[in-house]
Structure 1
Amino acid sequence: MKFKIVKRKIKDIPVLEIVDRTREYDKLPLVIYYHGWQTSKELVLTQGRKLANQGFRVCLPDAPNHGERHQAISPVISLTFWNSIQGNLAEYEYLRDYYLYHGLSSQVFVGGVSMGGITTCALLTHHPEIIAAACIMGEPSPVHFRMRTIKRAAEREIKLPSDYTDLLSWQEHYDLARNPETLAGRPLYMWHGTEDYKIPIESVQSFVEKNQEEVYGAGIQFEIGQKEGHLVQIPVMEKVANFFVKNITLNA
C-alpha cells in the first residue's frame, strides 16, 4: 500500500495526516493519535503508518508546546506537561469536526503514547462518540500522577505554588479512574512495561483490577510488557493497529 502523508494545519494545530493514496477522499474510520512528552507528531509516524495500512485515516497532531509549537518549559514543575495535555483535550473537537465536516471520517478512534496515553484516557471521560481507544504507557488517573509529582517535589525540596492543586483542578473531571463508568463498555487497549519508571505500572494495574470485571469496564484489554521500560517496540504498535481493526469490524 502506498501512503500519502499530508502536512496541514487545522485551526492552527499542526498535524500530519496519513492515508491510503488511492482512498484520500473516501470516508474512512479516523484515528487521532497523540505523541508523548517533549517529542512530536513525527515520532509517532511509524504507528501512524501501521494504522493507515489497516485502512484508517490517521491524524497525528503536535500537542501544544511541542513540535512546531515548541515553547520553553515553565519553571513550575510539570505545569507545561499538564498544560499540553489540557490543550490536547480542548483541541480534540477541532480535529474531530474537521474530518466530519469534510466527509472524510466515519467513526472516531483515539490513541496515544505516554502523555498521549494520558490524553486518551481523559478524552474517554467526555466523548462517548469515541468507538475505541488505546493507551500505551499512559495513566488513567491524572490526579494520582499529580499527587505523585507533589510527593516527589516535597522529597526534593522543590517549591510548588501554594495553589498548585487548584490550578490543576480540571483533572478531577477528566480522571478515568474516578469516572470509570464513562467507559460504558467501550474497548480500551492498555499496554505498560513493568520497568517503566517515568509512569509506573502500579496505577494502571489498579485501574484494570478495579474495573475490568464491571459491565462498563468489560472492554478493557490489558497487556504487560515484562521487563519493558518506557519505550514502545514495533510488536506493540502492530497490536494497537490490530486492536483498532478488530473494533471497527465489530462496530461498522
Structure 2
Amino acid sequence: MPCTSHAKFMVVFTVNQSNENQVNQSVNPIILKRTIKNIPVLEVVQKELKTEKIPVVIYYHGWQTSKELVLTQGRKMAKKGMRVLLPDAMNHGERKQPVSKIPSFTFWSSIYGNLFEFDTLIEHLKKRELLSDKLAVGGVSMGGMTTCALLAKHPEITGGICLMGSPSPLEYGEEISRRAQEFQYKLPVDYFDLISWVNQYDLSLQPEKLAGRPLFFWHGEKDEKIPFRQVSKFVKKNQDKSYGKGIVFRASSEKRHMVEVPLMDEAADFLSQMMAVSI
C-alpha cells in the first residue's frame, strides 16, 4: 500500500490580472539557449512573456544527465506562466568531464558547483530586470539535493520541488561510505572532513530554515539509488511543526529511481499554485 502523506497546506490558484490574457497553456513555450558566465542554460518561457517579470523556477537535473533531460518538465512549468532556467551542472551536459576515479568526488563537486553558481543565475535575471519576487528551485535526484541545500541557505526562495532527492546530504554521504566499504572502493581517509561543507547545507540538520515555505517531495519506496527513508524520516519529523507546514509528501510503493509524466504534471501544478500565493 502506498505510503502517502500530505501537509496541511492549501493554496487557491489565482492569476495576476496583468498576465491573465498572456498565459496560454496550449502554446508551446520557446527555448532560449544561453551561456551565463560559463554556465550553459536553457531558458524556457512563453514567447508572450519573454520580457515580463513573471515567476522564476531554477530547475536542476540529476547525476550523469543534463539540462536537456529535464526539458519536458521545464516546458510543463513554462506553460503555466513561469520562466524556467535549466542549467548544466559542472561536469555534466556541455560541461561533461570524465568521472573521477575517486569515488563520489565528481558527485559532491557537482552539487557544490550548483550552490556556488546559484547567485550567478540570480544576478543574470536582475540585470535583465526579470527577477520576480516569486522564485522557486527544484530538481531531480542530485538536483533535488541541490534544491534542499539552497532552501537551507536562501530565505528569499519561495519554495521548492525535490523529486527523488534527499534533504539529508550528510546521511547520504554516510550511505556512500557504507556502499564503498561493501564494494571495496577506497574513499579518502578524511572523506567526512572533505565534505564537511555539506553540514552547512543539510536541511535535515536545520529544518527550521524552511520557515513554513512550500516544499514538495516525491520518492519511490523502491528507489535503488537514494534511500526512501531519508525523505520519509525528514517528513515525519518535521511536517507537523510550524516551520514544516508547507511540506507535501508523495510516496509511491512500487516506484524506483525514475520520474514519470504524471508526476511532472503534479509538480508543475504545485509550483503554479505556490507561485500564485502572495508573500
Report the TM-score range of the alignment, normalised by the length of the smaller protein.
over 0.9
CA distance, structure 1, for counterparts of residue 35 and residue 93 of structure 2: 13
Aligned residues: 252
CA distance, structure 2, for counterparts of residue 231 and residue 75 of structure 1: 26
Aligned amino acid, residue 40 of structure 2 = P
1:74-111 per-residue CA deviation (whole Å, 9 max, x = no partner) reads 11111100100000000001111211221113121100
1:25-56 per-residue CA deviation (whole Å, 9 max, x = no partner) reads 11111000000000000000000000000000
- The residue that corresponds to 1:161 in the other structure is 188
Relative contact order (C-alpha < 8 Å, sep 6+): which is higher? 2
- The residue that corresponds to 2:145 in the other structure is 118
- The residue that corresponds to 1:242 in the other structure is 269
CA distance, structure 1, for counterparts of residue 101 and residue 65 of structure 2: 19
CA distance, structure 2, for counterparts of residue 63 and residue 93 of structure 1: 14
**Segment drifting more, 127-136 vs 154-163:** 154-163
CA distance, structure 2, for counterparts of residue 67 and residue 204 of structure 1: 27
TM-score, with structure 2 as normaliser: 0.89
Structure 1: 5+ residue stretches without partners: none
- The residue that corresponds to 2:48 in the other structure is 22
Q: Percent identity?
A: 52
How much is the aligned-residue C-alpha RMSD, in angstroms?
Answer: 0.9
Per the TM alignment, residue 250 of structure 1 is displaced from its structure 2 partner at its CA by 1.3
Q: Secondary structure at the match of 2:109?
A: helix
Structure 2: 5+ residue stretches without partners: 1-26
Matches within 5 A, 1:6-85: 6-85=32-111
Q: Secondary structure at the match of 1:42?
A: helix
CA distance, structure 2, for counterparts of residue 162 and residue 230 of structure 1: 30
1:223-252 per-residue CA deviation (whole Å, 9 max, x = no partner) reads 001201101011110111110111111126
CA distance, structure 2, for counterparts of residue 27 and residue 250 of structure 1: 16
- The residue that corresponds to 2:203 in the other structure is 176
TM-score, with structure 1 as normaliser: 0.98
- The residue that corresponds to 2:212 in the other structure is 185
After TM superposition, what 4+ stretches of structure 1 lie above 4 angstroms from structure 2? none
